[in-house]
Structure formats: C-alpha cells, structure tokens
C-alpha cells in the first residue's frame, strides 16, 4: 500500500490562534507568514510515540517521591480516556505532566514569584494509557499564579500536559483547567481559542465516582486527538 | 459522532520541569552517517529564544520510520527511534546530533507502481515556546543533497528565499556539519507547515 489516510484537519476556530495580542509574548513569536499546507506523507502519519526511558508506575504519583515526605495541598486524582475524534481509544499513549505547587510556585529557576517552594513537590510526572486508552495520575491541585502579562494578571489553576498520540500530526501540548475557577474567563492563553465549546474541552469535571473517601478528590478529563481521514488521498496535492 | 479535538495551549516558560533533552543517538554503534545541525531559535527581532524547545522526527539511514504505519519493506534500526528533543542554551543555540536520514516515499503512485515520487532526506522539526500558543512544524533538508531539486514538499514553497529557510547549509569543512536557524517571525521567517 503506497498511500495512507491522513489526519483530519481541525477547524481553525476550535484551535488556539497563534497571533493573539492579549497574550503579550506572542508579539515577537507568532509567525506572520502564511503556513504552507502539507499533505500527510509518511513523515506526518508516522511519528514518535514515546520519549526517553520507559515510564515507571511511581511517576504517575506526583505527591510522593520528590522529597522525604508528602506534597502539601489538596490531593486529587485525575483520570480519563485518550481517544481520537471518532471515539477510538488510543492505547499505550504517553502523557507527560508538569505543574506548579499548591502555593502557585514552579520549581524552575526562572519562577521568582514569592510563594514558597514545597520541599516534597517537584511538579513533574508521566503516565501511559492502558489498552482501553485510560489513564490516571495523582497530584495536588496547583495554585493560581501571577504573571506579568498585564496588570494584576493571574493564570487560572492549570496542569500542563503533553501527548504524542499515534503520529506526528496528533502531537498535543495543552493545559487542563479546573471547573468554577473565576480566573478562566479572564485568561489570555485560554481565550486564544475562539470557539467556546473547544475552550470548555480544556476544563476537567469534578467526579464523585473517582473521588476516594478521606483521601482525594476526583477529576475527569478526556483527551481527544485528531481522527483519520476516511480514505487515503490518491494523488499528491496539485501544485498551484 | 465526531468529537471536538482537544485544543493546544502554550508550553509556557517552565516546561523544563517536565521535559529534559532526549538525544537521537543513544548508542555509538547505531549505523548511519553522523550529521550535526547547529543553529539558533530566534524571534521577530532576531533575538534568541532561550526558553523554546525543538523536537525532531526522522527516518533511519535506510529511509524507514520506526512506526507501525511505515509499510516499506525496509528494516528499522534497533536502538534508533528517530525522535530527539533539544533544549537550546541561553543564547538560543541548539545542537542536533543525529544520523542522516534516507529518502522516504511521497504518497501517490501510478497504477504500475512506477514513477513514485520520493522525498529528499529531511528531519521534521516541531518547535515549542512560551508565546507560541500551539507548536510549529517545519522541516530541515541538507544543502548538498542532489535530490533537493525534486523534493515534492520543497516544491510547495513557491518563493525561493522562503524555500531556503528549510535547507541547512554546510558549516565549514567538517563533514556532516550543518548550520540552520529557525526564525519564528520577521525577515527570513522560517517556513512553517499546516499539517
């Protein structure tokens, strides 16, 4: 077989815009030239699915293992499914996770926000989806933190996530937000996504089913990656 | 039912907590001609982007991708996944050390299986940084490759000057040493692809 179905293009309004002046750092970093539309070749349909060493189970618990004790803050378990836009589960998918601590401080040399570091919290973790595409990790709820984007700017509480998916075209780096966070409507990073329903995809849901009595609150967050075209294209895109 | 795809957000300034470098060559005995691509990640003023990150994806020396959908009847290379993750220094410089990939096919073939086009050896490069709300996808090819003139993807870039932004230039006399900058914006802006 010499041709493979590509991945379906996303609707522009359902994806983050590059040029978004409300997010100040885009001013010198968002490309200005039009992008060249690339038909999906083997280079885009194949892709990395993992990075670095194989994931070990303890990496899915960010509350333990960094320091001698347990991390401070509200313990939460985040779980869900990784699937494509047609609902097909994505098994064995790597999820790389990082976040600030409960006080809103990142363990990074450039974070000078005067909130305390937690000696028992590093902020990084990884997990892998099972054969049904399900994942689960335990962490503490991150705090909101101030940033210098505009006066009195605060990022809503969020957890950074990175996935490869099944091919290069499914690569996703995003942020998960928390329901009811009053900062969400004011956030210039989230507002870069024009479509309201698409923005809502980034907000997890409180979930009694996975809340563990006397232990941790459960949040559910499904991740949807691009689906495939129904048929392979037969000819390369004609050059204009 | 078609679901909305989870949208992207910026990687942010603190991604180093989650991402460390991942070398493409994890062992010295991986077969293939070594190449080194040195360059800088630059913003719209030509200033370094020290908090960005690059990922590369490529075929092995035979032009085979380590992925179940690469249908080619070629061998993969044990120990070489084709993936690398590169963290620039404070001056925005990155150094990609890898092997020269082989040519890979381009989709479409005539009914007799002849005349199938090939893509010249290249790396797919994905760029992340604070200020980029979504990653960018580009490619890097090698200046001295005679197959460049026939590469179907390079031909999609009509402007010759823009096409040159996808081609790493020989870096002095050292064999396999190349130079290639990535400019996010402004004069000499690198070509980025809508994938």
Contact list, B104 vs chain A (CB under 8 Å): 41-43
Q: How many C-alpha atoms does B108 have within 13 Å on its Cβ side? A: 14
In this prediction, residue B22 carries a pLDDT of 97
Of B190, B194, B193, B195, residue with least CA distance to B41: B190
Does the beta-carbon distance from B128 to A160 stay under 8 Å? no
In this prediction, residue B127 carries a pLDDT of 98
Q: How far apart are the first and last CA of chain A?
A: 27
In this prediction, residue A234 carries a pLDDT of 46
Question: Distance from A238 to chain B by nearest Cα, in Å?
Answer: 9
Instruction: Report yes or no: B157 at the A interface, CB cutoff 8 Å.
Output: yes
Instruction: Report yes or no: A43 at the B interface, CB cutoff 8 Å.
Output: yes
Question: B162: nearest CA in chain A?
Answer: A33
> Predicted confidence band at A97 (pLDDT cuts at 50, 70, 90)?
very high
- Which residues of chain B are modeled with pLDDT < 50? none
Does the beta-carbon distance from B107 to A122 stay under 8 Å? no
| Entry pTM | 0.95
**Rounded mean pLDDT of A221-226?**
98
Residue B105 structure tokens: 């096919």
- Residues A111-143 have pLDDT tens digits of 999 999 999 999 999 999 999 999 999 999 999
Q: Measured between CB atoms, which of A15, A171, A233 is closest to B126?
A: A171
- Residues A49-77 have pLDDT tens digits of 999 999 999 999 999 999 999 999 999 99
Averaged pLDDT of chain B: 94
Place of tokens 């800088």: B40
- ipTM of this model? 0.95
Handedness of CA B156, B162, B165, B168 (dihedral sign): positive
Active site (annotated) includes residue A145 = yes
> Predicted confidence band at A87 (pLDDT cuts at 50, 70, 90)?
very high
**Binding-face residues of B in 115-154 toward A, CB within 8 A:** 116-117, 119, 122, 124, 126, 128-137, 139, 152-153
In this prediction, residue A13 carries a pLDDT of 96
C-alpha B153/C-alpha B156 separation (Å) is 5
In this prediction, residue B113 carries a pLDDT of 55
Does the beta-carbon distance from B71 to A107 stay under 8 Å? no
> Predicted confidence band at A3 (pLDDT cuts at 50, 70, 90)?
confident
In this prediction, residue B145 carries a pLDDT of 95
In this structure, what DSSP letter does residue A24 have?
Answer: G
The answer on pLDDT for A236 being more than 90 is no
Contact list, B85 vs chain A (CB under 8 Å): 51
Averaged pLDDT of chain A: 95
Please state the length of chain A: 240
Residue B25 structure tokens: 């060559």
Residue B6 structure tokens: 């989870």
Lowest-pLDDT range of A96-105, A213-222, A228-237:
A228-237
Of B85, B82, B184, B83, residue with least CA distance to B136: B184
Q: How far apart are the first and last CA of chain B?
A: 23
Catalytic member of A40, A81, A155, A226: A155
> Predicted confidence band at A238 (pLDDT cuts at 50, 70, 90)?
very low
Contact list, B152 vs chain A (CB under 8 Å): 236
In this prediction, residue B112 carries a pLDDT of 56
- Burial of B53 (C-beta count, 10 Å sphere; 0-12/13-18/19+): buried
Active site (annotated) includes residue A106 = yes
């Amino acid at each position: 077989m010499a041709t493979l179905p590509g991945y379906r293009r996303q609707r522009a309004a359902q994806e983050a815009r590059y040029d978004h002046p409300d997010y100040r750092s885009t001013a010198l970093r968002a490309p200005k030239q039009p992008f060249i539309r690339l038909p999906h070749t083997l280079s885009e349909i194949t892709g990395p699915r993992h990075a670095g060493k194989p994931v070990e189970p303890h990496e899915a618990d960010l509350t333990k293992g960094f320091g001698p004790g347990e991390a401070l803050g509200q313990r939460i378990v985040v779980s869900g499914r990784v699937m494509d836009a047609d609902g097909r589960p994505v098994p064995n998918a790597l999820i790389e996770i990082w976040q600030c601590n409960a006080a809103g401080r990142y363990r990074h040399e450039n974070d000078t926000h005067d909130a305390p570091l937690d000696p028992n919290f590093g902020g990084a973790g990884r997990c892998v989806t099972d054969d049904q595409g399900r994942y689960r990790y335990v962490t503490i709820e991150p705090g909101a933190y101030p940033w210098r984007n505009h006066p009195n700017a605060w990022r809503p509480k969020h957890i950074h996530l990175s996935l490869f998916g099944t091919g290069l075209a499914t690569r996703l780096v995003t942020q998960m937000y928390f329901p009811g966070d009053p900062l969400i409507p004011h956030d210039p990073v989230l507002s870069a996504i024009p479509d309201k329903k698409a923005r809502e995809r980034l907000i997890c849901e409180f979930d009694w089913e996975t809340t563990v009595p006397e232990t941790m609150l459960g949040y559910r967050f499904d991740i949807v990656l691009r689906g495939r075209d129904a048929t392979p294209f037969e000819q390369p895109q004609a050059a204009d | 039912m078609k679901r909305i795809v989870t949208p992207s957000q910026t990687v942010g300034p603190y991604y180093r907590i989650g991402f460390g470098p991942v070398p493409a060559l994890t062992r010295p005995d991986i077969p293939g001609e070594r190449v080194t691509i040195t360059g800088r990640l630059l913003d719209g003023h030509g200033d370094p982007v020290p908090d960005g990150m690059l990922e590369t994806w490529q075929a092995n020396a035979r032009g085979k991708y380590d992925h179940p959908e690469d249908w080619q009847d070629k061998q993969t290379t044990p120990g070489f996944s084709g993936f690398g993750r590169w963290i620039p220094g404070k001056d925005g410089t990155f150094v990609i050390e890898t092997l020269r990939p082989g040519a890979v096919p381009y989709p479409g073939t005539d009914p007799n299986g002849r005349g199938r086009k090939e893509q010249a050896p290249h790396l797919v490069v994905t760029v992340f940084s604070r200020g980029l709300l979504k990653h960018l996808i580009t490619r890097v090819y090698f200046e001295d490759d005679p197959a460049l003139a026939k590469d179907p993807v390079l031909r999609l870039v009509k402007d010759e000057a823009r096409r040159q932004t996808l081609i790493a230039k020989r870096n002095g006399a050292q064999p396999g040493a190349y130079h290639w900058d990535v400019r996010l914006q402004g004069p000499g802006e690198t070509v980025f692809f809508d994938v």
